[in-house]
């Protein structure tokens, strides 16, 4: 019996790379949005990561007719009440260099350490988006915002996210070292384990 399909529903190339790495070897035929007819990106209206993950999974499952996994993620900084949070992708700045500069402006005057976490909320829908997700999970990684960006690996806010056990930012380590400890790696490993036990 051929492996059933699984749509990885994200438009973010950094996420795709990490998710494909973690899900390699699962008994599913992994598809990305590039493999199917174009689907309009849903507006992320949820106020929580979990709500937006479910919204994305439902939208892409309904439009594609495929079992679909989606995630919503972001950076939550304690000194500024958890911002940018669910707005991380839309935080002001056309480039990440600009986003970092704007964040440093916001953080100026707030006492250090600037503790923060990355959050990844995952939702999987195995029908056509008509019911509640069959699997959800949320994972985090704790760290601190650095004084200046460092490192060229990873994507997004990785250069300003200092991970104390490694003594460097998540952009200064290889992809597999990041995934071993970070939010997306944890969430998708939990999903991978769950998928293994699902009969198909
Ligand atoms: P999709 O909705 O299509 O999945 P997106 O990038 O718009 O792509 P989100 O709305 O979930 O996804 O925004 C997540 C943002 O949070 C992402 O664009 C980065 O700015 C940031 N982010 C999430 N995970 C990150 C990570 O591992 N490293 C660095 N930044 C991260």
184-199, pLDDT tens digit by residue?
999 999 999 999 888 6
Indicate if 147 belongs to the active site.
no
Q: Which domain holds residue 77?
A: 6-197
- 113 found inside a domain: yes
CATH number, position 190: 3.90.950.10
Domain count, the chain: 1
Distance from the alpha carbon of residue 2 to the mean position of ligand 1, in angstroms: 32
Check whether 1 has a pLDDT greater than 80: no
- 1 found inside a domain: no
Whether pTM exceeds 0.85: yes
Distance from the alpha carbon of residue 72 to the mean position of ligand 1, in angstroms: 7
Please, which residues have CB within 8 angstroms of residue 30's CB and are 6 or more apart in sequence?
Answer: 6, 8, 20, 23
Would the CB of 154 count as within 6 Å of ligand 1?
yes
74-118, pLDDT tens digit by residue?
999 999 999 999 999 999 999 999 999 999 999 999 999 999 999
- 97 found inside a domain: yes
| Other residues' Cβ atoms within 10 Å of the Cβ of residue 44 | 17
Task: Using alpha carbons, select from 178, 186, 187, 188 the residue that is nearest to residue 157.
Answer: 178
């Amino acid at each position: 019996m051929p492996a059933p399909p699984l749509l990885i529903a994200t438009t973010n190339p950094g996420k795709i790379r990490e998710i494909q790495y973690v899900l390699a070897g699962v008994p599913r035929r992994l598809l990305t949005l590039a493999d199917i007819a174009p689907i309009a990106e849903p507006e992320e209206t949820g106020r929580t990561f979990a709500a937006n993950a479910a919204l994305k999974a439902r939208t892409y499952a309904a439009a594609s007719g495929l079992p679909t996994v989606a995630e919503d993620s972001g950076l939550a900084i304690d000194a500024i009440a958890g911002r940018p949070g669910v707005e991380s992708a839309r935080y002001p700045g056309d480039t990440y260099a600009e986003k970092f500069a704007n964040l440093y402006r916001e953080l100026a005057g707030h006492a250090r350490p600037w503790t923060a976490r990355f959050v990844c909320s995952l939702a999987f829908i195995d029908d056509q988006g008509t019911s509640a997700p069959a699997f959800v999970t949320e994972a985090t990684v704790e760290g601190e915002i650095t004084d200046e960006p460092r490192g060229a690996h990873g994507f997004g806010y990785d250069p300003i996210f200092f991970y104390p056990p490694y003594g460097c930012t998540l952009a200064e380590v290889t992809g597999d070292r990041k995934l071993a400890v970070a939010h997306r790696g944890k969430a998708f490993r939990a999903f991978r384990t769950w998928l293994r036990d699902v009969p198909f």
